Chains A and B, each alone.
Chain A
């Protein structure tokens, strides 16, 4: 190993609180933040699973009064929904946010917080980095999936329905002040969603570990996340009520989130955002389709780091050359995705050959593409998509 000479910066703002039943800590954590009238952000699936009632029960005997419940979040953090949510916070005079849900809910909450704090009305116009730059409403996240890591990331991916694009913003203060990890709120997640969100975590970890901005601090997070996903995701999918598997997948998602937001991701995420923006391919599914293809594309540009990925996934790499170890890592990823029953191609999403140029342009315009270890050309990205049709 060489002496690291470049500046390394590793950030984490969020206090992470874990236990089985940690949602019961919500009143204490809100009190610590000085919050008395939170707006709860959630979606219909979370409500139907009884998780909102579980959260409300935790607040029942406390001084906290729920200002309102915003439950209009759908797949993805939509511009129109974020704008509406910001108006809702102001209408009900909420003084804080509790986000109960997956990445779409948590990113919607971040977007609304940005608008309320920054005095803006349209999140579509908030594209960039650190445009607000000051503390926002106190914010607690209770992730109900184990995938996005949004509970610890200081940015959000938002979908512009009109332009069929996914863009994002970075705001240090939009991240949750507290993340409550409670495996009880993830046991109702269906197997297919558990699989897809789990592969999202794996993708964060692998892309971050092979990012040009990888560093020893982030490596500690991302490499361990790969180990945890490899060990626990199958079991979480097969036996949804297994709290142990659910807990370790939560840890995996959170540490991968911390890791990847300190190094960023790469072409898998850039392509997944384009697929989600234009064809509504769910993010985790898009990642699972793109991950092995992009790993092959990046194979010779990751400074031998796929060997560590293979090892973290349980492959015996002794005696393998760098190339053989890389191939073993890619094979292990394919094997896991196959066992989880996730799709291996883009068939079934209505994508045609004539859509590929626009799809490739949108992927190339995604900020994550900047961080891919192999600088991609537009036609190469189009070819990646083409092979998966």
Chain B
């Protein structure tokens, strides 16, 4: 039972807006696109899978099946996804504590951890604008 999400639709809308704003941010998008690969965040409870196609500077994202073979997939609860984008969950420690399951080489992704601080600011703005300010951690 999710602590933060009503249903998959709410999560999809909220995270989609976050990702749209992150890709619109020159600093965040330029660093993310260096990954040059397909990355997946598979959330459960509620279940939503986001893919990010960062190949060749595409910087596209969507839900469901990715448009190619992924290089890394992280599986975590939707609540931990909320904590992570709020910069309240250290991904490295979460992997060590088995809260995040990793398939593939996560080196590139984990190197972006310092960006979570700025991502959290963007995320808080999204929560405010979408009437979900009570979720802010």
Contact = CB atoms under 8 A, between A and B. Distances in A.
A128 to B, nearest CB: 4
A293 B27 CA distance: 31
Contacts of A128: 101-106
Contact of B111 (A6, A131, A172, A375): A375
B107 A7 contact: no
Contact of B105 (A11, A367, A375): A367
A17 interface: no
A170 B105 CA distance: 11
Contacts of B107: 364-367, 369-370
A190 interface: no
Contact of A129 (B90, B101, B111, B114): B101
Contacts, number: 54
Contact of A131 (B96, B103, B105, B113): B103
Interface size class of A (residues with CB under 8 A): 20 to 34
Nearest to A167: B105
B121 interface: no
B95 interface: yes
Nearest to B93: A7
Contacts of B102: 128-130
A370 B110 contact: yes
Nearest to B113: A370
A364 B35 CA distance: 12
A267 B105 CA distance: 17
B106 A367 contact: yes
B24 interface: no
B97 A9 contact: yes
A260 to B, nearest CB: 13
Contacts of A133: 98, 101
Interface in A337-385: 364-367, 369-371, 375
Chain B CB within 10 Å, residue with most, of A129, A371, A375: A129
Contacts of B106: 128-129, 367
Given A7-B93, A9-B93, A130 B105 contact: no
A129 B97 CA distance: 11
B90 to A, nearest CB: 7
A294 B90 CA distance: 26
A213 interface: yes
Contacts of B100: 129
Given A127-B105, A128-B104, A369 B98 contact: no
Given A128-B106, A365-B108, A375-B114, A370 B92 contact: yes
Interface in B77-117: 90, 92-93, 95-98, 100-108, 110-111, 113-114
Interface in A82-132: 127-131
Nearest to B94: A7
A207 B113 CA distance: 20
B114 A367 contact: no
Contacts of B113: 370
Contacts of B110: 367, 370
A131 B108 CA distance: 19
A257 B107 CA distance: 21
A370 B3 CA distance: 31
Contacts of A213: 92-93
Contacts of A367: 105-107, 110
Contacts of A371: 92
Chain B CB within 10 Å, residue with most, of A128, A133, A172, A364: A128
Contacts of B93: 6-7, 9, 213
Chain A CB within 10 Å, residue with most, of B97, B106, B107, B113: B107
Chain A CB within 10 Å, residue with most, of B90, B96, B98, B101: B96
Contacts of A7: 90, 93
A170 B114 CA distance: 23
A172 B95 CA distance: 11
B104 to A, nearest CB: 6
Nearest to A372: B111
Instruction: List 10 A-B pairs, minimum CB-CB distance, nearest first.
Output: A129-B102, A128-B102, A128-B103, A370-B110, A367-B107, A129-B95, A130-B98, A365-B107, A370-B111, A127-B104
Given A130-B102, A370-B107, 14 more contacts: A6-B93, A7-B90, A9-B93, A9-B97, A11-B96, A127-B104, A128-B104, A130-B98, A131-B101, A170-B95, A365-B107, A367-B105, A371-B92, A375-B114
14 contacts: A7-B93, A9-B93, A11-B96, A127-B105, A128-B101, A128-B103, A129-B100, A129-B101, A129-B102, A130-B102, A131-B101, A133-B98, A365-B105, A369-B107
Interface of B: 90, 92-93, 95-98, 100-108, 110-111, 113-114
